[in-house]
Structure 1
Amino acid sequence: MKKSVLFFVFAIVVLCVARPAVATNAPLWMRYPAISPDGTAIVFSFRGNLYRVNTKGGAAVPLTLGASHDFMPVWSPDGKTIAFASDRHGNYDVFIMPSDGGPASRLTYHSAADFPSDFTPDGKAVIFSSSRVDAPDSRLFPTSRLPELYRVSVTGGTPKQFLTIPAEKTRFFRDGNRIIYQDKTGIEDQWRKHHISSVAHDLWVADLSKNAFRRLTTFPGEDRNPMLSKDEKIVYFLSERSGTFNVYRMPLDASAKPVQLTKFTGDPVRFLTKADSGTLCFGFKGEIYTMRPGQRAKKVTIRIQEDPAGTGDDLLNVGRATDFAVSPSGKEIAIVFRGDVFAVSVESGSTRQLTRTAGAERDVTFSPDGKAILYASERKGSVNIYQSKLDQPDEKYFFNATLFDESPVLETTKDSYMPRFSPDGKEVAFIEAKTTLKVLNLASGKVRTVLPGRYNFSYTDGDQWYDWSPDGKWLLVQYQNDTYFSTEMGLVPADGSKAPVNLTNSGFEDMQPIWMAKGSMMLWFSNRDGLHSLASTGSSQLDVYALFATKKAYDRFKLSKEEFELVKEAEKEAEKTKKSEKKKKGDKNEAKKKEKKEIKPISIDFNGLTERKVRLTEQSAFLSGAVVTPDAAKLIFMAKYEKKYNLYVTNLREHKTKVLAQLGSLTGGDLRLGPKGKYVFVLASGRVTRVDVNYGKT
């Protein structure tokens, strides 16, 4: 019996047998080192567990062991307690435990992530950062990326917010009224190097009793991780003033310029902490260093005894599919899983790995003849375009191919994303540098610009969109409105000869346009009708809209069910007559072959084009992928009306919507229509499922 469900989730079976502990004499990627107040011990995170080691080095003793991720250790002033963050109950919460080991006590229970940075000077409470709720009078932009500061008693209880301003790596002065911290004024990757912008971190001192704030640094780049000297007159911190993160010191009153204490190059110094004696501790290239006053930094030689936990067989889920494409025949799909490309048989599930590289592959697609798979890949210092091609002429599918060859399609110093074959397979369109739409002619090697970068603004990875027309003459694009920060649907000629024609011009978000119904319809998402934020950010409910290329297509779509049945009947009669005439003239099989090879040009009537618009969804929702069958009779879309995403179908003649398949996905996904529109392929929750369009069978 044939399998109708294509399920693609990889797992690894690990056979664990009893074996002695494994000694790691030169462990790397020891992170978040925190030196004790008396300078005798260091607690650090390694592979998600906390370890303690003497500052002179030696064997590290585990403080926590388990499947959870434990990190960000902080010492109490008396050195008897450790606070740390752990996700052992789902999200990150604050825990405390004895510094020499023992049971951990949970202090926070909120659904937001909580990260500790210090104890209060009396050791009775832990302060931590968390994105819960701003103070009522806060004027900050409401986003979870800008946290507030809280304190919670070491005996538990309800945490109390004491600073709504984002303050990270916060440390108390001894008087308990003042704190020193690094600010956070925008959204940026904390691991980004050489960052210079208006949202780079600076150091501040706040007097909580007077609600007074004083800025300590004004360097355009990064200043982070402040630590106070014992007399509270000197601040030690990390800065990129030398080109990479190093340790600096400066008077708290800014009476002198910062002095660089370490001279590391190439990689950044991270995770600065300090003992009461003045000994500094930090990480560099995954190892731990200490630095005594007046001396040079010294690496701490550490040994870790690792005990492989558990015995027997463990079935581990090692990831999910992130992208996929359906072959022209519909008999195999290509999937990106953990950064590599795989080919999978739709019927049997047989799988063949096509790439095995250190870089991540993405944006996978088939050639029109199904004999090549195109994808972008991180190699040679940039994202480039490659293809794998079947090597044997008599082989049709990648999942059981004996040989296939990979070759570069385009390698440049600029990143190239989202490669897509033209319908005739002679050209490849792609996005260069995240904003510019270009087309590569495979025969000549020449590249032309179709949509210049000035029409786009990239805020996150993969936020651009385009789609070839079925005849390869046009490209539907998502591009930036030049008067308001919103996206529009545009149409540009594939030869790059003209600027885009704005097809929506709505001022709302119009996104992810695709050609449907054999090129007679343009489909896209818009948030103009659903619940949405009037700011330029925030989630929005969406609807599916269609624009019709010709008045004939529009009029046909608007026919009632009864009118459409009469038209179909007349068309069947005409088709019979046409076949009869072809039979009289010659070989009908030969005629079919020629007809199949021919790419028919689509017709676009620009007169009144923007007025031939129809909202296809009956109700706004959170949408993720939509397609229309070739006969324009059914809309299939993934939507979340309540808690989870499911697959829905709308009969566009009868205006009736129902559940086509229960997906139960917490996150959205993507859809691909199979050949002839009989099946739709759905990526949801990391797996791909084939669904019968008519019956909903999977």
Structure 2
Amino acid sequence: MINKRLNLVSFVSKSLLSCLLITCAFADSEDDTSSEKNWDVKNPQGVMKTISIDTEETTWSNLSISPDGKSIVFDMLGDIYSASIDGGNAVPLAQGFDWNMQPAFSPDGETIAFVSDRDGASNLWVMDANGENARQLSHEKTALIHTPSWSPDGNYIAVTKGFMSSRSIPAGEIWMFHRAGGDGVQVTSRAYGPHTQKNMTDPSFSPDGAYLYFTGDVTAGRVWEYGKNSTTELFNIMRHDLETGETRSYIGGAGGAIVPTPSPDGRSMAYLKRQDDKTVLYLKDLKTGIDRRLFVNMERDHQETFGSEGNFAYFDWMPDGKHIIFWTNGKFNKIDVDSLNIDIIPIRVVAEKQIQQPPRFSVDVAPDEFDIKMIRWASTSPTGKYIVYQALGKLYRKDMATGKVRRLTKQNSHDEFYPSFSRDGKSIVYTSWSDDELGSVKVISITGGIGKTVSTEPGVYVEPKFSPGGNRVVFRRLAGGYLLSPEWSMEPGLYIADLTEKTMEKIMGSGFNAHFSASEDRIYFTSYVPASKYTELELCSVDLSGEDKRELLKGKKVTEYQLSPDGKWVAYTHQNNAFVAPFLATGSQQEVGIETGGLPVAQVSKTAGEYLHWSADSGSVGWSHAATVFQRSLNQAFSFLDGAPDDLPEPVSDGIDLSFSQKADKPESIIALVGGQIVTMRDADNNREIIDQGTVLVESNRIVAVGPVEEVKVPTNARKIDVTGKVLVPGFIDAHAHGSQARAEIIPQQNWKNISSLAFGVTTIHDPSNDSSEIFSASEMQRAGHILGPRIFSTGTILYGANSPRAFAGINSYEDALFHLKRLKDMGAVSVKSYNQPRREQRQQVLKAARELGLMVVPEGGGKLYQNMTMMADGHTTLEHALNIATGYSDLTQFWSQTDMAYNPTLVVAYGGLEGEKYWYDRTNVWENERLMRYVPRYIVEPRSIRRPTAPDDHYNHIKVATYAKKLRDAGVRVLLGAHGQREGLAAHWEMWMLNQGGFTPWESLRASSYDASISLGMDKDIGSIEVGKLADIVVINGEVLEDIRKSEMISHTMINGRLYNVKDMSEVASGKSKLKPLFFNRLDVNAMPSSTSEALKRKGERHLWVH
């Protein structure tokens, strides 16, 4: 940004008294949600394709009956239609690329209220009954509007307004809007305040207008939880007295009560509840309280999902009060409430829809050489002579004068992390880690060498920083027990090492990113603001004994603080960019952000900024991102400083590139797998090629021949492996595989999660939510052969729409989207995860940026059906997670199959009912799986598996989800395997078994695990099938898996990149001699994780929206 130089008498007189504010380029979306005005969701930039729909079935259609009882309006695929109450061809009322839904007739029948995203976000609109004269009533940008219902006098419309807090599950309030407009009036308040995740929705008025009914979540606590028992009381119908304001539970009990729909005379109420696994339509006499069951086989409701768009497809009474019209099983039904006779209303819809093609780009899965992008802790020395950084687990030093780069240390016994300069620039303090010897804090000269250990005990150490005089080091000690050994984990916290006295003392038990500033006698550290529910970070300080705590700064969406050496400035990262402001101690806590309100603030980075650091004189601040390190002099950021130019330059976009080329690991062997049945998956859209007795010849890491034994000539120098009686299938691709790759950036040499996955045949993972720096570093280390595990691809950190400081991505323009996607691509992303950005225009802007940058977009499904359908129209690469409905019908199947968006239903955690993972705990003794227990700590597996709940098959939602997935695949939609990081490789087999439960043949299940995933993720040139030229990723199975998919788990060997491993001990066979060292839980008698590790793992899971 450019600011004119200000002639200030003094910093105090002008900066403090006048509260000078230097504005910056990025708006805080919580305070400024103004979106790009010229963005039109109806005409997004990109090529449109027209498709045709002809159907007599619809999916999840909300309906409303005209007051004269002659017509029905309903929604289908984002359009609103009208039809005769007797059926026939539907006539469009609101049709286009915008998404329109939930129509509701006004009491006089002249107007229809509906929800539309045509202004960029889902808002309340009204139109004339003939579809003309549409006008907008609400103008929300972050809250989600849905479920409109008219007041009896026709003047007001009640809606649900859903608010996201630190989690993207909206908590509802009921609001009323006047038909003439205005900002609306709040009727109910969220339970538990702004941090709640509990919903209220489904508003409706009593016919006399005295009461407003709605559905409220009555489960305990403020947090929404998965896996709730729908046979218990989850929701109640609430009654709000519009005169007194009293709200009380009105209808509830076992199975809950949702969607209150009063009869025209107000004497009874139709509503839904669960009985067993069925959603049942009931009628309650509001005087006697007696219920009558009207219809049993309603479509499954949303009580077990979020209800973010309402709890059901809304139904309506006929004006005579004797019939109810409802949608279920793809059809419109008319039920006589007295006789219970049902008639189908036959409606046909013929329509044209527009869609865009998804961004899908070819990924070079295994180049011989690759660029190192994920440089960590890059910092310029205080004197400006050197840059030190970490890559591939080791520290490097770049000489700024000569440009030469070399390793800083001479050892290879441990990996090196968290380098930090002394104030004089002569020394580096860093932490080490070895799976065998644990870690330490070390100091080494900038000229290199061996270094000395300053910690007095082994342990897990991070974030070391020198004191001003260089005679002390402050650092954080962590507990192990998950990925790292739990040895020496009893006393986590902040420590100070005295280099002169050679001592190490604990000063406090919490806090992170501790550092000194101007004085030797205070430590500054970061912690969570307690009242913020872990959504806000603060900067605090203590003395060297951990006492005299002072809370200094806090800031929404601030993720890092770093005080300058002279104590006069603070650098901080806010929404991924680096900022600087004066630091003023006043005795009370100050708020920082992009606008401090009382002090100057300058944005110094333009392309993201992490790893903040200062020059010795506090005159410049440095930061890095991906493989580039940057620096900005303060007099180039603040016009009141000496030496500032008349026109200040824009934030820094150019830096020093530290990337370098690295050879990829691959063997030098020639291996022939001879005699087995080969399921090639070659051209699996058109063929089912199976070679009953074949040979696969592998040279280095590529397949050079495949065919019947008699046709493949095996060279004399090849190592023959007899696989007679076994089945060879392509390596499994887990396209939705979460999981920790590090503990606070420390990547273990042996990650048991990765090793277990590989032992179960998973050779490639795509993780759509993880710490960017951790997973991209792990990916590079795996590719270089430094760690053992599947190939690792990822989105990095999600583009989150909720208020979580380390994941939130504010997108209010295309430029914002481009910024976020470019920073992720710079670190190594091949895809990005658009995660519940509330406005459709935001999601479209992400797509445009992805197409420009060559990235794929794999969005969170989020349990929002209508939003999912807009994702199909807008052209997302995949849909991650199951639809929140039990099944789709002809309209949706036709629509989806004409897009090119793949489906990753993640059956282990499928929305809507009991998750698939629990089925396998219920039906199998998971803790007795020898291979799983060899590679996974028993204290991880046993608590989830030994004492397990049980339920009938029809309560397990994954079977219904898989059944519809089969229909989609038969229609041409690619269905992928996504085990969500559950149960460490074994869950990938559960996914295949569950697809089989839904009707997939064993071969089709295997296709989902390889061929379909490779094409959907742009990797099919290298993986996904066993054919010449592809990478040698092969699973060898001891069983007739084509006859019984449950035999997929019976693996003898996994080959990845031409290296063959015996899964019994993961020793390398024929391609090399590597052997697995004992994992820490095998060499130690470990029975539990330390509590602080459990808490850190929980926090990490919450940050990335996965729980294992």
Aligned equivalents of 1:214, 1:32: Cα separation in 2:
27
Aligned equivalents of 1:232, 1:618: Cα separation in 2:
56
Question: Does 2:154 match 1:123?
Answer: yes
Q: Secondary structure at the match of 2:181?
A: coil
Q: Secondary structure at the match of 1:209?
A: coil
TM-score by length of 2: 0.33
Cα shift at 1:220: 4.3
Cα shift at 1:103: 2.4
Cα shift at 1:188: 7.1
Pair 624,244 (structure 1): closer, same or farther in 2 beyond 3 Å: farther
- 1:201 paired residue among 235, 252, 258: 235
2:128 alignment partner AA: P
Aligned equivalents of 1:619, 1:163: Cα separation in 2:
31
Q: 1:471 corresponds to which residue?
A: 435
Aligned equivalents of 1:215, 1:620: Cα separation in 2:
39
Cα shift at 1:211: 3.2
2:204 alignment partner AA: R
Q: Secondary structure at the match of 1:100?
A: coil
Question: Does 2:294 match 1:233?
Answer: no
Q: Is the 8 A contact 1:488 1:506 kept in 2?
A: no
Aligned equivalents of 1:663, 1:24: Cα separation in 2:
55
1:40 alignment partner AA: K
Q: 1:168 corresponds to which residue?
A: 201
Question: Does 2:349 match 1:288?
Answer: no
- 2:253 paired residue among 200, 203, 219: 219
Greater share of residues in strand? 1
Aligned equivalents of 1:488, 1:247: Cα separation in 2:
57
Aligned equivalents of 1:127, 1:39: Cα separation in 2:
22
- 2:773 paired residue among 667, 671, 682: 671
- 1:306 paired residue among 340, 346, 351: 351
Cα shift at 1:488: 10
- Number of equivalent positions: 438
1:622 alignment partner AA: K
1:503 alignment partner AA: G
Q: 1:535 corresponds to which residue?
A: 531
Pair 25,107 (structure 1): closer, same or farther in 2 beyond 3 Å: same
Q: Secondary structure at the match of 1:307?
A: strand
Aligned equivalents of 1:245, 1:685: Cα separation in 2:
42
Cα shift at 1:127: 2.0
Question: Does 2:826 match 1:690?
Answer: yes
Question: Does 2:445 match 1:491?
Answer: no
77-86 vs 297-306, greater mean Cα deviation: 297-306
Pair 308,231 (structure 1): closer, same or farther in 2 beyond 3 Å: closer
Q: Secondary structure at the match of 1:535?
A: helix
Cα shift at 1:533: 3.9
Within a 5 Å distance, the mapping from 1:145-184 to structure 2 comes to 145-164=170-189, 168-184=201-217
Pair 659,147 (structure 1): closer, same or farther in 2 beyond 3 Å: same
Q: 1:503 corresponds to which residue?
A: 493
Q: 2:637 corresponds to which residue?
A: none
Question: Does 2:622 match 1:658?
Answer: yes
Within a 5 Å distance, the mapping from 1:27-426 to structure 2 comes to 27-111=57-141, 112-130=143-161, 145-164=170-189, 168-185=201-218, 194-195=229-230, 200-253=234-287, 255-256=289-290, 258-264=291-297, 267-268=300-301, 270-275=312-317, 276-278=319-321, 279-293=323-337, 294-309=339-354, 318=359, 330-331=370-371
Pair 32,308 (structure 1): closer, same or farther in 2 beyond 3 Å: closer
2:773 alignment partner AA: L
Aligned equivalents of 1:477, 1:241: Cα separation in 2:
54
Aligned equivalents of 2:203, 2:264: Cα separation in 1:
16
263-272 vs 499-508, greater mean Cα deviation: 499-508
Within a 5 Å distance, the mapping from 1:629-648 to structure 2 comes to 638-639=576-577, 641=579, 642=593, 646-648=608-610
Cα shift at 1:55: 3.0
Aligned equivalents of 1:190, 1:38: Cα separation in 2:
43
Cα shift at 1:165: 6.2
Deviations along 1:284-314, one digit per CA (max 9) or x if unpaired, are: 344433323223444433322212459xxx6
Cα shift at 1:107: 1.1
Q: Is the 8 A contact 2:127 2:134 kept in 1?
A: yes
1:46 alignment partner AA: M
Aligned equivalents of 1:62, 1:245: Cα separation in 2:
30
2:324 alignment partner AA: L
Deviations along 1:416-445, one digit per CA (max 9) or x if unpaired, are: xxxxxxx99xxxxxxxxxxxxxxxxxxxxx
Cα shift at 1:22: 3.0
Q: Is the 8 A contact 1:95 1:106 kept in 2?
A: yes
Aligned equivalents of 2:226, 2:480: Cα separation in 1:
39
Q: 2:930 corresponds to which residue?
A: none
Q: 1:594 corresponds to which residue?
A: none
Cα shift at 1:105: 0.9
Aligned equivalents of 2:477, 2:328: Cα separation in 1:
46
Cα shift at 1:625: 9.1
Q: Is the 8 A contact 2:162 2:170 kept in 1?
A: yes
Cα shift at 1:95: 0.5
Q: Is the 8 A contact 2:578 2:610 kept in 1?
A: no
Q: 2:585 corresponds to which residue?
A: none
Cα shift at 1:118: 1.5
Q: 2:955 corresponds to which residue?
A: none
Greater share of residues in helix? 2
Pair 299,500 (structure 1): closer, same or farther in 2 beyond 3 Å: farther
Aligned equivalents of 1:42, 1:55: Cα separation in 2:
6
Q: 1:4 corresponds to which residue?
A: none
Pair 254,536 (structure 1): closer, same or farther in 2 beyond 3 Å: farther
Deviations along 1:12-34, one digit per CA (max 9) or x if unpaired, are: 975747xxx83412444243233
Q: 2:30 corresponds to which residue?
A: none
Aligned equivalents of 1:31, 1:477: Cα separation in 2:
56
Percent identity reads: 15
1:44 alignment partner AA: F
Cα shift at 1:100: 2.6
Q: Is the 8 A contact 2:155 2:178 kept in 1?
A: yes
RMSD: 5.6
Pair 691,543 (structure 1): closer, same or farther in 2 beyond 3 Å: farther
- 2:557 paired residue among 595, 613, 622: 622
Pair 194,31 (structure 1): closer, same or farther in 2 beyond 3 Å: farther
Q: 1:601 corresponds to which residue?
A: none
Aligned equivalents of 1:191, 1:682: Cα separation in 2:
24
Cα shift at 1:147: 3.6
Cα shift at 1:119: 1.3
Q: Secondary structure at the match of 2:261?
A: strand
Q: Is the 8 A contact 2:146 2:161 kept in 1?
A: yes
Aligned equivalents of 1:86, 1:331: Cα separation in 2:
45
Cα shift at 1:94: 0.9
Cα shift at 1:106: 0.8
2:313 alignment partner AA: F
Pair 506,273 (structure 1): closer, same or farther in 2 beyond 3 Å: farther
Aligned equivalents of 1:156, 1:24: Cα separation in 2:
37
Q: Secondary structure at the match of 1:671?
A: helix
Higher RCO (C-alpha under 8 Å, 6+ residues apart): 2
Q: Is the 8 A contact 1:624 1:668 kept in 2?
A: no
Aligned equivalents of 1:66, 1:151: Cα separation in 2:
27
Task: Structure 1: give runs of 5+ residues left out of the alignment.
Answer: 1-10, 134-139, 335-365, 369-422, 425-466, 479-486, 514-524, 546-607, 612-616, 628-634, 693-697
Q: Is the 8 A contact 2:526 2:540 kept in 1?
A: no
